[in-house]
Amino acid sequence: MNFPFLTLITFIPLLGAVAVALMPGKRERELKLVAILFSVPSLVLALVAWLLCAQRAGEMQLLEEAIWIPTLNAHYRVGVDGISLPLVFLTTLLTTLSLFYSSYTIKKRVKEFFALFLLLETGMIGVFVALDLILFYIFWEVGLVPMFLLIGIWGQPQDRPQYSAIKFFLYTLVGSVAMLLAFIAIYLTTGTWNILQIPSLKPLAGNPALAIAAFWAIFLAFAIKVPSWPFHTWLPDAHTAAPTAGSVVLAGVLLKLGGYGMIRILLPFFPDLFRQFAPWIGVLALISMIYGALVSMAQWDLKRLIAYSSVSHMGFFMLGLVAAAASLDVANPVLNNRAIALNGAVLQMFNHGIITGGLFFLVGVIYERTHTRDLKAFGGLSAKMPIYYGVMLMTALASLGLPGLAGFISEFMVFRGAFALIPTYAIIGIVAIVLGAAYILWKIIQHVFLGEFSEERWQKIFNPAHWHFSLDMARFEVVTMAPLLFFMVLVGVYPAPVLNVINAATTLLLAGL
Amino acid sequence: MTIEYATQIFAFIILTLMTLGGGLAVVTSRNLFHAALSLILSLAGAMGYYVLLDAGFLAVVQLLIYIGAISILILFSIMLTRGLMVPGQVQRNEQWWIAALVVFLTFVVMVVALWQTVWPIAGEEALRAPNVAIGQLGAALVGPYAIPFEVISVLLLVALVGAIVLAREVENHSASADVETGE
Amino acid sequence: MILAQLLVLLLPDLVLTLTALVVLVLDMIWREGSRSQRFLPWVALIGTVALIAVTVLVWPLGGTGGLPIALATDKDFGGDQVPMMVLDPLALFFKLFTALVLILMLLASGDYVRARIRFRGEFYAFILFGGLAMMLSAAATNLLMIYLSLEFLSITSYLLTGYLREDERSTEGAVKYFVYGATASAVMLYGFSLLYGATGTLDLASIAAVLTGGAVPVHWLVYPALIMMLVGLGFKIALVPFHQWAPDAYEGAPTPVTAFLSVGPKAAGFAVLTRLLLTALPNFRLDWIAVLAGVAIVTMTLGNLVALWQSNVKRLLAYSSIAQAGYMLIGLVALAPEAQSWMTGLNGLLLYLFAYLFTNLGAFAVVIAVENHTGSAQLDAFAGLMRRNPFLAVTMFLFLLSLIGIPPTAGFVGKLFVFGAAIQRQMIMLAVVGIVNSVISVYYYYAIMRQMFFSEAADPLPFDEGPGLRVAVGVAAVMVLMMALYAEPFIRLASESVNLLAASF
Amino acid sequence: MAIPLPWWLTVAAALFAIGLYGVLSRRNAIGVLLGIELMLNAANINLVAFWRYITPQALTGQVFAIFVIGIAAAEAAAGLAIIISAYRRRRTVVVDELDTMRW
Amino acid sequence: MDFIFNLTPLIPLFPLLAFVIIVLFTHRHNRLSSDVAIGGIALSTVVAWAVVLATVLSDEYVRAEGWQLHVPWLPAGTTVLEMGFAVDGFTAAMLFMVPFVCLMIFIYSQGYMKLGQPDQDPRYARFFAYISLFAAGMLGLVVARDLVLLFISWEVMGLCSYLLIGFWSFRKAESEHHIDQAQVVRARQAALKAFITTRIGDVLLFSGIALLYSYTGTLTFRDLFRPETLEALQAISLLGMPTVTVIALLVFGGAVGKSAQFPLHVWLPDAMEGPTPVSALIHAATMVAAGVYLVARTLPLFIAGFVVANAPALHWVAIIGAVTALLGATIGLAQDDIKRVLAYSTISQLGYMMIGLGLGSLVAGIFHLLTHAFFKALLFLSAGSVIHGVEHGAHVAAHGDHTHAEHFSPNNMKVMGGLRHRMPRTFMAYLAGALALVGIVPFAGFWSKDEILTEAFHLWRADGALNLPFWVWLAGTLGAFFTALYMGRQLGLVFWGEPRHAAARHAHESPSSMTVPLIILALFAVLFGFVNAPFLGSPLHHLMDKVHEASEVMHAEVIPFNPTVAGISTMLAVAGLLLGWSLYRNYRTGQVEPFQATLGLVFIVLRNKYYIDELYRWAIIRPAVWLADFCFKIDDRWIIDPFVDLVGAAGRAASDVARVLDSGVIDRWFVEGTAQLFNAAGRWLRYSETGHVQNYLLVVAVTILLLLGLYLYF
């Protein structure tokens, strides 16, 4: 495979960012067009890459390697396998949709917005494809900065965007610098940054204390990003403050960086430590699941509610991961408990990206019209906006894990694995599912769509002068949501296409541990 | 203990009284002018030391540059800035006693260290005959020490130019004339 | 050694001296305020470029091993005819370093000087002399030469700090700087004298020889000498607790001078400190590593903490540069000549210095630009910079990221190597403190980012920063990115510049 | 030699201490400068004493002392110039009063 | 014949297509949408009956092992989880009933939903979309080969139930006057209640499935019920029980939720807020029966657990069933809302089915399920017809005088009376349904209920002692009496006596689009019992007895008809019916109810449904909501706000940066604490920068002194 797929996928958006930055700021229409056009090739290539790799998704593919800093033995080394492929695709998809959506909704400082967004895409994709710790770290931080600005500049004024932005920045930075130290320590003992090679070299094997420190340092970085309780408090603020597209990518992709890191780095590097500490991490996962669900149940701000639901859903992911890591269960190879759990975890990331991304788009839909997210302000909208009702209902149901839609599959596999490997945790975790149904139906559906539609309340919040599209979901909004809905159904009804690649990779990964 | 020893010791005591006494006067006297004068006294003491240490040339340098140039410079600038030097005004700031304490302790510590050390004293005959002619010094300054010698000359140039630039009395209209202010 | 050779080895220094003198003379010829005066900086610039050229020219001579620079080698004078200077990789590195500092400064200071400074010819000359002093101090191998060159650098710095005679802050800063500096150097001199007494020589290598020979028990003296020298050098580098002059001097000085002060003396100090400790006092390693480790920790921490409360950008950057010096010191503390991983703390130190050079000068260049157009260096002067001048805002953002140490910027590489060395030497504590500090530092760097991107300007009119500044900032920004994305040559340069020292260590 | 080396050193140390005290306690900038001069002399006495007792054959100590004097001259010139310009601007040479820049 | 079986996937597919078509294309055309829906269900009815026919006619093999079709679905490690369709005798039995009842109700709805609604109300199309989706779910459940498809369909039905219960849960105030506001609120809450309550059951089932999958590696019924698999499950112990028992209980939990068994029965009565056809279809005939179907499907698990360690799984089914049967029947005595009475009756009848299964007899339970589906659907539809009659009457009356317009509910039996003259056809249908429900020979209900009781009786007699089957039989018999009692009361109140309200006086018969389905269903209510009548040789039994044969744990012998049991229950039924009827047929408005007069306080308890709702509200809902708020406060109030204040105070004093800092890191305790620490430290250290150079130098001197002293003393 000589064709540099991944390099192109990763860096075309960067070119786009530069191009947009160099264009005259007045020509907003062209700016938007160029930005979107630059995000499309990555999407297409990602899809092609997926199809190419679907066959042997187990091992790393589309590998590209070039010596980068010889003295440090650092390489430009990228590649994808079944774990990263869906996430790369997810990233490109959500970015393109976000850009498309934003081209209708972003009014101020357009040029900067689109440039930053493309830069952000490069950073995110880079993390998923990087196979060299330094490269990984660099992309990790590259993704951090644009999001910081997106939140700070385009956040809604009433949500203290600057505070949220710096909070997001600091939290992530705390984690990543700790991670950097750990990476250096690993490099100094193994002499390489190669993510694929390090596991076989048993990093820090000689120095248990340092190994444990490194483990927790790396875990901290990823747990903050995931985010796991108690490192989650940046998330509601960031999501609430960010502009719609920002929230979408934040929830859809940035949270996955942490999860991906845990699977790609933490688990293979320190399988034994992970097993040793799995009980504690499992407890964190459980708390995240239940606590997140409870807190969303108490929310009256639609966006905040969904933000907290992300905490809960990423808790599911962590539960699956913990289940896969908790045991060396080879007793019954037929059952593949660990593989199923890990599949569930990875798929949960993918699904959460699709679903919660969609939910944030839908929040944007109502917010753009009414400029409020207060659940008490709505009611009876299903009579006024039937299409919106339908789409939101479907997405919400997917989020609460209704069979036939995406969310269910991953939840099922996660719990399936958990029940086999860590039953106690699974039994406790079940509560989160009920709560999920509670906050989604009770808070979102009931308060927004059901009940009495009152014209005067609506007049208070909706000003036709500020909204130039149809009252019910406008065409561009439907177009934005359509692909997401498609994937919700596809994965929900026939998950094999996605799961095949994931499964191949996870089984290989687990076999390697 | 020969007579010359005795004179040496006597001279040392006298010079020490000059140097340290002058020094104390420098840092304590209420009148800055007197302080400057006692600096000269102290410097002279040091010069005497040099003589006693068989560094005649250095003593001359001390006399010419230090006493001759620097002290005078200082005296001038004192007179330049004398405008508000009302005599009898307090010359110590409020932290003087802490300073005194700290300095004294430092001195004690240093003395302990100095007396603890066993010095690599040179051999007897070397000590007896430190044959350093002025010619040698001159040769050294243009020989091995040529580079620092050049450098210090440049340094002096810079210092003097700088001193002029900063201290020169400027007539303000010309100042505002050729400075187009950026604000 | 015959004169011709000597001159060749001294070529860079001579070129710089010559340039400075030419500038002085031209300034006298072109009378004040004449049109031709504006060519002065270009003359200086040409000289500096020439400096780079000759540095590259003489590189082969000293690039591999140290080449002593001495006029006579005969033993007539009691065998103390050891060279004053040496042309070795470290010296060459700092010659290059100096040249870059000067170039960026000259580019950045044009408008500012034209607007605010009188006696421009002398100003440029002094800056060049400052550069000369830097080069000398980095090359000096003799206590006498070290003292001399450091004083040279100090005196030029005093003069430059007080250069705005009409500005009381400038003069006040100069007085403080002078008083503090003179005292510190006197203390250092006293330390030198003790060291001389203990070993009977001023040459660093010979000192090491005597001390390792251990003929006489003089440790009682070396340690006090070490401390007193540390005072002098700590003052130059602005290490806590010898840092307190820095904020006042930085705030008072003309901004281009501040930029120079925040890089030049620091670098010189580090050069001397490294050479001194590694060449003269290797077998007192344990003593000075202990002391410096402590100093590094307090330096980082205090610098960052106090910076949190600054509202003047120059002062803020002053504290930030104090903290940065703390990070660099880690490299010296954690030096590991035997390192397999290319992370010998020393090259970390040099890399960090290099990164810091571009980052800090770039940042100050932006400050200069803003000050030129708003007349203030307060935080709110940066409000809405993104709207007023995106180029400056973005580059400034880049510099701030580099100061924090976020990739892909030069600062990241520096931190990587410094902390890497610390971890390698199992000095986890040191690394962790450094990390925590770099997180704290975000708070106050964010204060600037916030102004630039999130707040609205009082007058949103866009402004143009002028060609000189544009080039300066642009070059700095490019280098900041280069050092991260194409780090190889820089790493090699840094490593080769210290491997001689490390080997002798 | 009649006087053992440590005596010289002690005197030098004392002078150094005195000078330092002057630097720390004098309110007048020029007074501070005087203190500094004392400290430099202390160092010089050290140098010469060491030269005399330890390396009498060489020139090192003396030459260093000569250079120190020269540097002291340059320093004094620059320093006094600064002080005077400050005095011009602020009508004072009292160090404590130069505190417009602080925290 | 196999080609017919290959059509099986179409059965759920047609309604699903109908759903998609309506949602995407025809949702703006009401009539068209309803036609599409009916067409879809009609097609699947045809196919389904063809399949039934094929099954009945085909050889033993098809009935026992069944026909299968499956696709790889979920790649899991080295294995793949498959999903597919299967048909056997049991399925056939269900396939006969489900699509047909659906069809009837669809047709009925086409008439029903138009009444009282403005044309072009989008709800109309939406309604048919929902019920089509529901039909797809139900049919998918029936033809499921494995628990995967079953669970998916299961949840889809749950969703539709939620949507349809909440069908009136929103309105545009200005346009939709035919919906009153109280109804909107009630519907909203009922829908949520239904979903959450069943959801609790669902997660239990979910856990059960997950456990099953993790212990056996498959979810296909056939593979699960292989003897070796069951033995393996019996062998492993989990939470002190054989795994199989744990799983069985979890699965039963799902059934309890879906089939509204005690203690999760509370949602079903409220579910009557939905349109009446929905009550008939989902909350009487099909969905609520899905729980029973599930238990029946997985019966081997229960029995296996029962067999190995006398573990309680099977017992619990019987006990819960019995309790529910009595509970529902008794509450039914005291309700005024005609539909709620039927709802409680449904609950108790479902209890009967559970009893049947709990006694280990597949056929008894399923037989009752089928008959009940027909007559209860019939009852609900007739009730709907009654209600509409009354509503129409109300409209007519409203033109006369407006006195009765307010606080009037057409569902309230107290306002009816004497309708047998106004609505004869409805009355006849209703009567047939009632008799079937009560269990009068030869109506359908008689045979099925009798079979259950006989089963219990038989098991009791088998070992004589007063064992569980005895109590179950007792409960069942009593339940039969109460059932008769409340049906008598209902008949009396609704159809006999004098109209107690103008509405009732002006009520009139419903259109034929509604009455025709009634009549058809009535026929089934009368005759369907014979499909398993003993004297005909229990054909249903022979269709189904091979179903769980493979698992080797089922006893499938036919229990002979027992006159004693039949006699007792019939006697009680007749007695109850007459008693209730006689007491209530002359009931007058305002007069205290006869039951209340006799039962007194007990009646109040019954009317308040044993206060179970209140109990839940206080014991579960309130605490949950409180906990949620508590956690939120932890995140928001208690941790953050105090610091907002604290830091805000600091911020006002502090410089620009400090303000950024303060507003920048307001957060949890530790972050907050450290930030405050840094801030304070910085602020304090900052004053070391006094601006007096001599202070600086003093610091230097002190440093020197300290370092030297340090050195001197080590």
Closest chain B CA to residue E702:
B102
Report CB contact under 8 Å: E656, C311: yes
Share of chain C above pLDDT 70, in %: 94
In this prediction, residue E654 has a pLDDT band, given cuts at 50, 70 and 90, of: very low
Gyration radius of chain A's alpha carbons: 22
DSSP summary character for residue A373 = -
pLDDT of residue E672: 57
User: Is it the case that chain B and chain C have 3 or more CB pairs lying under 8 Å apart?
Assistant: yes
pLDDT of residue E669: 43
Average of pLDDT values for A441-448?
A: 84
Average of pLDDT values for A337-343?
A: 88
* Whether residue B129 has pLDDT greater than 70: no
Average of pLDDT values for B113-121?
A: 83
* Whether residue B84 has pLDDT greater than 70: no
pLDDT of residue E657: 36
**Across chain B, what does the average pLDDT equal?**
82
CA-CA distance, A59 to E358, in Å (whole number)? 52
**Lowest-confidence range among A415-429, B6-20, B108-122, E401-415?**
E401-415
pLDDT of residue B131: 63
Give yes or no for D2 touching B (CB within 8 A): yes
pLDDT of residue B174: 43
Report CB contact under 8 Å: E170, A449: yes
Q: Is the pLDDT higher at C134 or at A334?
A: C134
* Whether residue E396 has pLDDT greater than 80: no
One-letter amino acid identity for E384? G
**Lowest-confidence range among A350-364, C400-414, E626-640?**
E626-640
User: In whole angstroms, how far apart are CA C430 and each of B171, C291, C297, C342, E330?
Assistant: 55, 13, 7, 19, 77
Average of pLDDT values for E39-65?
A: 82
Closest chain B CA to residue D66:
B58
**Across chain A, what does the average pLDDT equal?**
89
pTM for the full model?
A: 0.89
User: Coil, strand, or helix at residue E553?
Assistant: coil
Minimal CA separation from D69 to chain C, in Å = 11
Q: Is the pLDDT higher at E250 or at D102?
A: E250
DSSP E661-675: HHHH---SHHHHHHH
Report CB contact under 8 Å: C379, E704: no
Give yes or no for D32 touching E (CB within 8 A): yes
> Which among E692, E694, E708 is the nearest to B109, CB-wise?
E708
Domain positions in chain D are: 5-92
Closest CA to A456 of A344, A393, A374, A380: A380
Chain E residues within an 8 Å CB radius of D96: 692, 694
Chains in contact with C, where contact requires at least 3 CB pairs less than 8 Å apart: A, B, D, E
Closest CA to E518 of E112, E153, E26: E112
pLDDT of residue E642: 45
Mutation target for E interface from C311, C319, C443: give the one with most E CBs within 10 A.
C443
In this prediction, residue E401 has a pLDDT band, given cuts at 50, 70 and 90, of: low
Residue E135 CB contacts under 8 Å (≥ 6 apart), including other chains: E12, E15, E40, E41, E44, E99, E102, E106
User: Is it the case that chain A and chain D have 3 or more CB pairs lying under 8 Å apart?
Assistant: no
**Lowest-confidence range among A270-284, C71-85, D87-101, E571-585?**
C71-85
Q: What is the pLDDT of residues C11-52, one digit of tens each?
A: 999 999 999 999 999 988 887 667 777 888 899 999 999 999
**Lowest-confidence range among A280-294, E231-245, E334-348?**
E231-245
In this prediction, residue A472 has a pLDDT band, given cuts at 50, 70 and 90, of: confident
Average of pLDDT values for E513-525?
A: 86
Q: What is the pLDDT of residues C446-471, one digit of tens each?
A: 889 988 988 888 777 888 888 899 99
CA-CA distance, C219 to A265, in Å (whole number)? 51
Give yes or no for E232 touching A (CB within 8 A): no
> Which among C176, C241, C309 is the nearest to E655, CB-wise?
C309
Minimal CA separation from B182 to chain D, in Å = 20
**Lowest-confidence range among A320-324, B71-75, C113-117, C398-402?**
C113-117
Report CB contact under 8 Å: C180, E697: yes
Closest CA to E450 of E566, E574, E567: E566
For C49-86, b where at least 16 C-beta lie within 10 A, e where not — what string?
A: ebbbebbeebbebbbeebbbbbbbeeeebbebbbbbbb
Closest chain E CA to residue C447:
E657
Chain E residues within an 8 Å CB radius of C380: 656
Q: What is the pLDDT of residues E233-283, one digit of tens each?
A: 887 877 777 888 888 889 999 999 988 888 888 888 888 888 888 888 888
Give yes or no for D86 touching E (CB within 8 A): no
Chain E residues within an 8 Å CB radius of A446: 169, 188, 192
Are C314 and C274 within 8 A, CB to CB? no
Average of pLDDT values for A325-337?
A: 66
Are A147 and A210 within 8 A, CB to CB? no
Are A403 and A459 within 8 A, CB to CB? no
Select the highest-mean-pLDDT range: A327-336, C134-143, E444-453. C134-143
Report CB contact under 8 Å: E155, A402: yes
Select the highest-mean-pLDDT range: A488-502, E226-240, E404-418. A488-502
* Whether residue A457 has pLDDT greater than 90: no
Give yes or no for D17 touching C (CB within 8 A): no
Beta strand pairing call for A451-453 and E170-172: parallel
Closest chain B CA to residue C70:
B144
* Whether residue C77 has pLDDT greater than 80: no
Chains in contact with B, where contact requires at least 3 CB pairs less than 8 Å apart: C, D, E
> Which among D43, D57, D86 is the nearest to C190, CB-wise?
D43
> Which among B116, B120, B140 is the nearest to C220, CB-wise?
B116
pLDDT of residue A414: 92
Q: Is the pLDDT higher at B128 or at C69?
A: C69
pLDDT of residue B177: 38
Report CB contact under 8 Å: E686, C380: no
Give yes or no for E402 touching D (CB within 8 A): no
Phi and psi (nearest 5°) for C264? -60, -65
Closest CA to A477 of A395, A417, A372, A380: A395
- Between B and D, how many residue pairs show a Cβ–Cβ distance under 8 A? 244
Closest chain B CA to residue C146:
B148
DSSP E210-276: HHHHHHHS--BHHHHTSHHHHHHHHHSEETTEEHHHHHHHHHHHHHHHHTT-TTSTTHHHHGGGS-H
Give yes or no for B176 touching C (CB within 8 A): no
CA-CA distance, C169 to D30, in Å (whole number)? 19
* Whether residue E647 has pLDDT greater than 60: no
Give yes or no for B101 touching E (CB within 8 A): no
**Lowest-confidence range among B33-37, C111-115, D37-41, E466-470?**
E466-470
pLDDT of residue C325: 95
Q: Give, to the nearest 10 degrees, the angle between helix A475-493 and helix A406-421.
A: 40
* Whether residue E558 has pLDDT greater than 50: yes
DSSP summary character for residue C456 = P
CA-CA distance, A399 to A439, in Å (whole number)? 11
Average of pLDDT values for E412-422?
A: 81
Q: Token pair of E242, please?
A: 């054989």
**Across chain E, what does the average pLDDT equal?**
81
* Whether residue A378 has pLDDT greater than 90: no
Q: What is the pLDDT of residues D66-80, one digit of tens each?
A: 999 999 999 999 999
* Whether residue E309 has pLDDT greater than 60: no
User: In whole angstroms, how far apart are CA E485 and each of E439, E489, E493, E578?
Assistant: 12, 6, 12, 8
Closest chain A CA to residue E664:
A163
Average of pLDDT values for C165-178?
A: 90
Give yes or no for B116 touching C (CB within 8 A): yes
pLDDT of residue E601: 84
Angle at E430 between CA E424 and CA E433, to 5 degrees: 145
* Whether residue B180 has pLDDT greater than 50: no
> Which among B144, B146, B178 is the nearest to C32, CB-wise?
B178
**Lowest-confidence range among A111-115, A240-244, C176-180, E173-177?**
E173-177
Chain E residues within an 8 Å CB radius of A459: none
What's D5-92's CATH class?
mainly alpha
pLDDT of residue E653: 36
Chain D residues within an 8 Å CB radius of C148: 67, 71
